Amino acid sequence: MSASLPTPRDTEAKLQHILLHSAQIFAKQGFERTSIRDISKATGVSLSGLYYYFSSKQKLLYLIQINAFTSVLESAHAKLSGVEDAQRRLRILVGNHVEYFLTHPNEMKVLSHEEDALEEPYRREVAAIKRRYYELAREIFEGVMAESGSGEGLNARVAVLSLFGMMNWIYKWHNPRVDPNAAELAETIVVIFLNGVLGETSDGKLMSAGKEKAIRLD
Amino acid sequence: MSASLPTPRDTEAKLQHILLHSAQIFAKQGFERTSIRDISKATGVSLSGLYYYFSSKQKLLYLIQINAFTSVLESAHAKLSGVEDAQRRLRILVGNHVEYFLTHPNEMKVLSHEEDALEEPYRREVAAIKRRYYELAREIFEGVMAESGSGEGLNARVAVLSLFGMMNWIYKWHNPRVDPNAAELAETIVVIFLNGVLGETSDGKLMSAGKEKAIRLD
């Protein structure tokens, strides 16, 4: 049986191959409906070959989720390294996020739709890396606000999670035939967001979101 | 068997009861994993009683989705009636949307996660009402931009769908113990969005998103 096991040399590449195709099939037919046999078929890896990488469907779902967050977080850190300007840091964060998930729509869908399918202790570990990613975004956001001196009273959690909302909803509507590419999309989102949390409009009708008490819903 | 059928008087109330509890169980365990027996148990309505309202699980999923969009769209239209100020119309749209989905998190989850589970011809019908809702938002957005005279070159589709992103992501993170209520949340989103699409920041660093050519991702 050892002949069917991957050699150490290609282990990481093969794992990435499995994660990619598993995310695809989970995105298509859902985690619950997908059997290990389906995964074997989709990846072209035998059942014993798959077993080398994960011992259960739960573990596989965990690996897909952890792998996606690790990739996004690591590439964000790499691109942010040495960059101090707060607005530029925000641009990098958004650009990195939009680029990753626009090229990984299946992973985005699995992260969003199968969040609750994950059981402990995997669930806790995924929650922890998500938390680290949120905290990076929050820290960058606080940097932007501190640099501009505005945004007092703005609910930072709501602002940051609204930014994630703009980015994480893209997989629902992006159509590459009519919509902008990742860089343009990220730029539009950054501008809306930065104007949004820092700005006052030229007609003076709106205040900063931080002064939300000044305007109320009708 | 006719004794177990609902009387005409309470038909609509009973349907709403079924839709509410079905959305709850679909949100909890997913559409695929839920049987008609589970739905009977969750709603307290007999199988033959359920059959009076829908002939298949597909039809039920369709009814949940159509009902949610119809509710949101009708209440938006009712609140918008007679209101002409463009920014006030946007506030009403966002307030209505956030309020509905904050009080209907199960429906939000079913709309988002079970979109692909729906088959034709139901799928097409749900897509059509969604389109009408998007078009209402788009028309309100265009009104805001026309009134302010700004936003030339801003990608209206990306802007409107980013607004939906901020609103539709709320179900993922809103924690009633620490987060603002619907009205405050809606107001923060409106302010970020309106500043975002109309504004220039006080430090002059950012331009309107419409002038996106002026600034680029690094």
Q: pLDDT below 70 — which residues of chain B?
A: 1-9, 151-152, 200-218
Of the candidates A21, A29, A111, A106, the one whose C-alpha atom is nearest the C-alpha of residue B30 is A29
Cα A118 to Cα A110: distance, rounded to the nearest angstrom: 11
Of residues A135 and A206, more confidently modeled: A135
Sign, CA dihedral A114-A186-B174-B104, equals negative
Q: Tens digit of pLDDT for each residue in B175-214? A: 999 999 999 999 999 999 999 999 754 444 444 444 333 3
Q: What does the pLDDT read at residue A4?
A: 52
Residues of B in contact with A186 (CB under 8 A): 217
* Residue B160 forms contact with A (CB below 8 Å): no
Q: What does the pLDDT read at residue B153?
A: 72
Closest by Cβ to B192, choosing from A92, A185, A196: A196
Residues 6+ positions from B134 with CB-CB distance below 8 Å: B160, B164
Residues of B in contact with A113 (CB under 8 A): 112-113
* Residue B169 forms contact with A (CB below 8 Å): yes
Collect contacts of B133-142 with beta carbons under 8 A, ≥24 apart: B133/B69, B133/B72, B133/B73, B133/B76, B134/B160, B134/B164, B136/B73, B136/B76, B136/B77, B136/B93, B137/B93, B137/B163, B137/B164, B140/B80, B140/B86, B140/B89, B140/B90, B140/B93, B141/B90, B141/B197
Cα A173 to Cα A158: distance, rounded to the nearest angstrom: 23
- Say yes or no to pLDDT of A197 above 70: yes
Residues of A in contact with B148 (CB under 8 A): 201-203
Q: How far is A213 from chain B (nearest CA, A)?
A: 9
Residue type, B164: F
Whether the CB-CB separation of A48 and A1 falls below 8 Å is answered with yes
Element (DSSP H or E) covering residue B200: strand B199-201
Work out the average pLDDT over A179-185. 96
Q: Which two tokens stand for residue A162?
A: 């609204």
Most B CBs within 10 A among A145, A193, A201, hence the mutation to make, goes to A201
Residues of A in contact with B159 (CB under 8 A): 188, 192
| Residues β-bridged to residue B200 | A200
Q: Which two tokens stand for residue A15?
A: 């794992």
Cα A200 to Cα A206: distance, rounded to the nearest angstrom: 6
- Say yes or no to pLDDT of A201 above 90: no
Work out the average pLDDT over A61-77. 96
Residues of B in contact with A161 (CB under 8 A): 169-170, 173
Rounded percentage of chain A residues whose pLDDT exceeds 90? 78
Q: What does the pLDDT read at residue B206?
A: 47
Q: Which two tokens stand for residue A156?
A: 């930072």
Q: Which two tokens stand for residue B96?
A: 């209505």
Does residue A121 have a cis peptide bond before it, meaning omega lies within 30 degrees of 0? Answer: yes
Band (A208; pLDDT cuts 50, 70, 90): very low
Work out the average pLDDT over A191-199. 91
> Is B199 strand, coil or helix?
strand
Q: What does the pLDDT read at residue B4?
A: 52
Q: How far is A48 from chain B (nearest CA, A)?
A: 28
- Say yes or no to pLDDT of A205 above 50: no
Whether the CB-CB separation of A126 and A62 falls below 8 Å is answered with yes
Q: How far is B140 from chain A (nearest CA, A)?
A: 16
Tell me which chain A residue has its CA closest to the CA of residue B30: A32
Residues of B in contact with A32 (CB under 8 A): 30, 32-33
Give the Cα-Cα-Cα angle A168, A174, A178 (nearest 5 degrees). Answer: 155
Contact A162 B169 (CB under 8 A): yes
Q: What does the pLDDT read at residue B140?
A: 97
Cα A56 to Cα B71: distance, rounded to the nearest angstrom: 42
Q: Which two tokens stand for residue A102?
A: 């626009």
- Using CB atoms and an 8 Å cut-off, which of residues 39-78 of chain B contact chain A? none
Cα B77 to Cα A192: distance, rounded to the nearest angstrom: 27
- The single residue listed with the structure tokens 């598993």 is A22
Residues of B in contact with A91 (CB under 8 A): 217-218
* ipTM of predicted complex: 0.87
**Of A4-13, A178-187, B103-112, B129-138, the least confident:** A4-13
Q: What does the pLDDT read at residue B205?
A: 42
Of residues A215 and A57, more confidently modeled: A57
Contact A191 B212 (CB under 8 A): yes
Tell me which chain A residue has its CA closest to the CA of residue B169: A165
Report yes or no on whether pTM surpasses 0.95.
no
- Say yes or no to pLDDT of A167 above 80: yes
Q: How many other β-carbons are positioned within 10 Å of the β-carbon of residue A183? A: 14
